[in-house]
Amino acid sequence: MPYGFTPEHLALAEKVRTFADTVVRPAAYDWDTRRELPLDVIAEMGRMGLFGLPLPPEYGGTGADYTAFCLAVEQIARVDQSLAVTLEAGIGLGAMPVLRFGTEEQKRQWLPSLATGQALAAFGLTEAGSGSDASGTRTTADLASGEWVLNGSKQFITNSGTPITTLVTITAVTGERTRDDGTRVPELSAFLVPVPSEGLVVGPAYDKVGWHTSDTHPLTLTDVHIPEESLLGERGRGYAYAVTCLDEGRIAFAALCTGAAQGCLEEAIRHSHERQVFGRALEDNQHVAFMIARMQARVHTARLAWVEAARLMDAGERFKMAASLAKLVGAEAAVANAHDASQIFGGYGFLNENLVARHYRDAKVLEVGEGTTEVQLGVIARELGLTGAGLTRR
């Protein structure tokens, strides 16, 4: 089996690929132009079981492994990154924190609707002054009279403002703690905040360069009262939970990157067959053929990287560096392939109605989302034991 995929993996990939080509691709430009998330398609994806792939059956999921989830994300990303990141973030950043760290009651409250695509959840970590450095978090949570009271703001939160968004996990400062070296650092905790909640304001959607269909908003929290039992996991473990979810999410994000790179490759091959230049097919030009060969090399390398990381995760082995490697390699492959595909298409590659043009716009954020390129390099360097990694443990 290619890349060691099982027959079940390949059957799922083919099913999702057919869905992507017949349902998503024909409508993707229209969604992009209107900047609307197609809730009917989200519902169809839910009926297909895509939002429940890595979730246990007792919570409404299908009980598949993480590799299966990544395969589904990759196939959709070939034709629409926005819809792919809606799925990737809906599970990786929305449902997984509850599954990994929630109480049994929290899991049964939130996961069934998330697993079926009837609801979406978001993860509120990033702020205006804290993205890669979560120690800069300014949102606070104070415990008073059996309730947590949250105040602050969050930025760039995916899936936070859709009509079916029901939950956002918020990281907030709940005090201070002392590190082993004696320095004092903020104590971060995580909270499950229902949507809507009084005092929680979803700001206007961002005017983004790409990912136009993906739902992304700022959030403001002003005296948001939630029950004491809305704390996710242990107090003071919010940063560790965020890191865990980001490590896992980077694998699926790398699969998304691979799908984008694959989509650009497929479009370049098709166009090189069809386009006639100077009386012959574009593919007869050696330079174009070699460009496409390099695109294939990037896709292959990126897929090998995320598959290895997913297998390590599925096997319960350490995968931190593998996840960062996959995200790094995948993002670079997507950016490079989008550039080359747009060049092969010439003027047609500059039209928004063209899939490669949308990939070209969308690909830049792949070097930023779920940890910038520099963060991935820092993680890899630290895992190698290099003192100049530039990241500190908290």
Query: Which residues are 179's β-sheet partners?
Result: none
Measured N-to-C along each axis, helices 238-274 and 286-314 cross at an angle, to the nearest 10 degrees, of 150
Round to whole Å and give the CA distance between 289 and 301: 19
Rounded distance between C-alpha atoms, residue 265 and residue 280, angstroms:
21
Q: Is 38 exposed, middle or buried (0-12, 13-18, 19+ CB in 10 A)?
A: buried
The verdict on whether 8 is a catalytic residue reads no
Of 367, 370, 374, 383, the catalytic one is: 370
d(CA 294, CA 333): 10
Residue 67: CB atoms within 10 Å = 25
Give me the active site residues, please.
Answer: 370
